[in-house]
Amino acid sequence: MNDLSHEYENGFRIGQYRVDTVMHPTDLRALKPDWDALFDQDPDAGVFLSYDWLESGLLANPNRWRIFVVRDKTGVPVCIFPTKQRVHWSKTYSQFQTEIEAAGRLAWGEYTGFICRMDQEEGALKVLAQALEGYPWKSLSLRYEPTLRRSRIFAEAFGEAFSHQFRPYRINKGEIDNLVSLKVPIEAGFENVLASRVSSNTRQKIRRYRRKLLETGTYRITTASSETVERDIAGLLRNWVDQWSTQKGTDKALEIADRYGRALLTADSTDSLYLPALWQGDKMLGALGHVVDKKQGCVNFLVAGRNSKATDPAIGLLLHAHAIEWAADAGYRAYNFGHGDQSYKLSFGPEKTRSHYLNVRRAGDKSVLDIVSLRPALQRLANFAQEGKADRIKPSAEQLASLLDPQSLHQVPRIAN
């Protein structure tokens, strides 16, 4: 820890800055005005770092998150870093370890990172890293951070006991680079997209499908409203589960669909949902769920649900063309196809952008279990006993007993009920 720092109450003072933490719902709500004010003046912070987006995910997961707040000498926040904690069992060291991740994972956020005041960004991020050295954790992962600049400043401020790397992140057996996002510039309008970004073959298909299927009334496209949103989300997710159950297994598909559903409901409750659906009569052929970022002028595609029995190749193309046209007509600057460089996303001539995956690790075998991880660690210990993993029970119990040493209890933060 920096020599200029000292621990106070529930955080640290470092030079002119104070770093404190928020862990309780009451304190979280009290932070909202300052969070909103900082968010509004940070051009690099998008909808997925807004208080309104993250709140529901945080409140639904008590005792799993910690918000780090860097304040200037007047007490005004200049950096906010939302995090979540998870418990990892290390086979190498035979101990529980706390791992820190971005809190956006609790709310299915597409992008993570920091909210900063631009003129104090560098100083605040360095102080944040120094303060984090004083908390017990083994690894810190920040996936889908969009700036690189901020994650580099933050990572390079850690001391010699820490190492960091920027990792690749590929899915589908390495075929898809999931740190790539493909965005279509749409400021010049949808007709400009068709004329300058789409191939002549794709352009002809879009126009032909529209004439043949939409203008004749064979298919129709609706947009989710307050009266239809529950029906439309349910239909999208039902199609998604049908489409993916064979590949992922039914239980896993239902689990993922539940998380998508909560994200779409969060978008609806924060007035950032755009969900067009394609119908043939009363049958939903497909639907696209989007999160609209009004601040950054971007419509973010999140999830598609296509009727597994509908084989018409027009479905996806009609829906994405409709969504891009809607976004352009509404005055947005970009349509973001989301994470991954899948080939179908190339049809509209997108530009490649990249987010980043930072991992910071603490060296050594010292116990790095945060007191806030006590409850999930105790549950893991009970699971070890139930599963007959006798070799893990004794070291686990000894570690947890040491965590409850009376000299350590003064560090216990307020835990939500």
Digit-by-digit pLDDT tens for the chain (417 residues) are 443 333 444 567 888 999 999 999 999 999 999 999 999 999 999 999 999 999 999 999 998 999 999 999 999 999 999 999 999 999 999 999 999 999 998 998 999 999 999 999 999 999 999 999 999 999 999 999 999 999 999 999 999 999 999 999 999 999 999 999 999 999 999 999 999 999 999 999 999 999 999 999 999 999 999 999 999 999 999 999 999 999 999 999 999 999 999 999 999 999 999 999 999 999 999 999 999 999 999 999 999 999 999 989 999 999 999 999 999 999 999 999 999 999 999 999 999 999 999 999 999 988 899 988 999 999 999 999 999 999 999 999 999 998 887 655 445 443 333
Which pLDDT score is estimated for 105?
A: 86
Q: At the top level of CATH, which class does the domain 180-354 belong to?
A: alpha beta
Same fold, 5-169+357-411 and 180-354: yes
- Provide the residue ranges of all domains of the chain, joining segments of one domain with +: 5-169+357-411, 180-354
- Categorise residue 111: left if φ over 0, alpha if ψ from -120 to 50, beta otherwise: beta
Neighbouring-strand partners of residue 284: 279
For 87, phi then psi, to 5°, come to -105, 130
CATH topology of domain 5-169+357-411: Aminopeptidase (3.40.630)
